[in-house]
A and B are shown apart, each in its own frame.
Chain A
Amino acid sequence: MKWLELLTVAGATLVAAVTLVVLYSLGVRLTAIAGDRQVAAPGWVRYLAYACFGLSGIAVLFGLYLIIPYFSG
């Protein structure tokens, strides 16, 4: 039985999904902070938000790279 493979798949799923969700959630959170009117948020918050969205985009692209055999060989 391939228990090790099963564990690997479970682990990889967890790591990938959590990475994506953490990055995107941070992006959403920071956008929300940057959009607040009452408290003037420092300008870098918005850029940090963009960085988070960008990183999660890269994570998705990496996933694509993995499923398309043309790239991964």
Chain B
Amino acid sequence: MVALVIALALFFDFTNGFHDTANAMATPIATGAIKPKTAVALAAVLNLVGAFLSTEVAKTVSGGIIREGSGGIQITPDIIFAGLMGAVLWNMITWLKGLPSSSSHALFGGLIGAAIAGIGFHSVNLETLLQKVILPAVFAPVIAGLVAYICTRIAYALTSRHDPETGSKLTQKRGGFRTGQIFTSSLVALAHGTNDAQKTMGIITLVLISAGTQEPGSGPQLWVIAACALAIAIGTYAGGWRIIRTMGAGLTEVKPAQGFAAESSTASAILASSHLGFALSTTQVASGSVIGSGMGRRGTTVRWGMVGRIALGWLFTLPAAGIVGALTALLVKTGIVGVVIAAVAGTGAVLYMFLVSRKSEVGHHNAVEVEEAGQAVRWAKKKALARARAAERAKNNPKDPQR
């Protein structure tokens, strides 16, 4: 059971990596600041480095949402297994739909659902849930969006050049922002590594402690850190091209100055929140920034339909992952047969989604150029197949090759 949970946790880390590549690398890829493959490689290396930098977050993973520890509920590997299953499946579904959604919320949702089904409703600490998950989810995109909006306005105001006599526009020469983007997006990737790899380390450590193979209260072991760092780096390198497309081209058209402003806001928000203790989700901050920077430049339209779809995805993250987690917890409760059924069903579902994804492949070659295909990926399940075919058709004859 312990080995199974660790394997699943590492797979969750992998999905987390490729789900969140977009946060850091969607805008530089969209503006052409970095070539797609170089961008994901850079993000992978920085995630790897980031994962080794700090283990502080690992100690407080999911802390307090489920009343664990002495006097509270003893959290078992079974519950963690069920929770991870919910998180992994939700990550795969949102990836298939190209929706940027928070991996940590999926994890929380899965764990909460599993705890409710496996232990009972009293095991969940509602106040902490509100404070740690729901409120940040509302404020993260608002804060980041507002800051990105202001920054975009400033960046354009400071660099707009007019001829002092005639008042006509001079060459704007904003190419410098493209170089700047390399640094800001690297900062975001690094911050992601220090935050998100930690969650899996925390989970694995929790499992090892609850199984009695590790001293309670001790930090993650070296092999755990290394395995998590590798898993998230490989995931990042695999690249969630679907989500990159949504973030880079689906929300709004991104120019270098906007990308720079958006990434500065994302990096500042993540750093400020992780340093001052009010945890914000990387994904939600990054999405908010991109929308804010889209509103900040005159003549840019924000595709509110896409924004609505993403918001809907966020709304569903917690309950959906929770339901899968709960179902898995019920299965696991029945004994060893249930565990096997859950594991096989989970693997099958992941494989199925992977196969569906092959039908409308999105790779580094067409991640950003083809906006129409991104529009075609809709939320309704029944229509998914038809849409995928439409997407493929759109892919085969790209309407605006930008490069």
Contact = CB atoms under 8 A, between A and B. Distances in A.
Contact of A9 (B143, B150, B171, B174): B143
B38 interface: no
B159 A13 contact: no
Given A13-B272, A31-B173, A26 B131 contact: no
A29 B135 contact: no
B132 to A, nearest CB: 10
Contact of B194 (A8, A10, A35, A67): A67
A9 B272 contact: yes
Contact of A66 (B155, B176, B269, B271): B271
A9 B154 contact: no
Interface in B160-174: 161, 171-174
Prevailing SS type, chain A contact patch: helix
Contacts of B265: 13, 17
A14 to B, nearest CB: 5
A22 B159 contact: no
Contacts of B151: 17-18, 21
Which interface residue of B148, B261, B272, B276 has the most chain A CB atoms within 10 A?
B272
Interface string A30-50: 011001000000000000000
Contacts of A35: 173
Contacts of B366: none
Contacts of B277: 5
A16 B268 contact: yes
A59 B173 CA distance: 23
Given A9-B272, A13-B144, A67-B275, A32 B173 contact: yes
B304 interface: no
A53 B144 CA distance: 23
Contacts of A21: 151, 154-155, 260-261, 264
A1 B54 contact: no
Contacts of A58: none
Which interface residue of A1, A9, A35 has the most chain B CB atoms within 10 A?
A9
B268 A28 contact: no
A68 to B, nearest CB: 5
B292 to A, nearest CB: 10
B274 A13 contact: no
B53 interface: yes
A47 to B, nearest CB: 16
Given A63-B187, A69-B53, A25 B154 contact: yes
Contact of B191 (A29, A67, A69): A67
A20 B180 CA distance: 10
Contact of B269 (A2, A9, A57): A9
B229 to A, nearest CB: 15
A72 B144 CA distance: 25
B154 A5 contact: no
Nearest to B275: A66
A5 to B, nearest CB: 4
A65 B108 CA distance: 29
Contacts of B180: 24, 28, 56
B182 to A, nearest CB: 11
B278 interface: yes
B311 to A, nearest CB: 20
Contact of A32 (B139, B159, B184, B273): B159
A52 B146 CA distance: 24
Interface of B: 53-54, 56, 131, 135, 139, 143-144, 146-148, 150-151, 154-155, 158-159, 161, 171-174, 176-177, 180, 183-184, 187, 190-191, 194, 257, 260-261, 264-265, 267-269, 271-278, 280
Given A18-B150, A63-B268, 8 more contacts: A9-B272, A12-B275, A17-B150, A24-B177, A32-B159, A32-B171, A60-B187, A63-B187
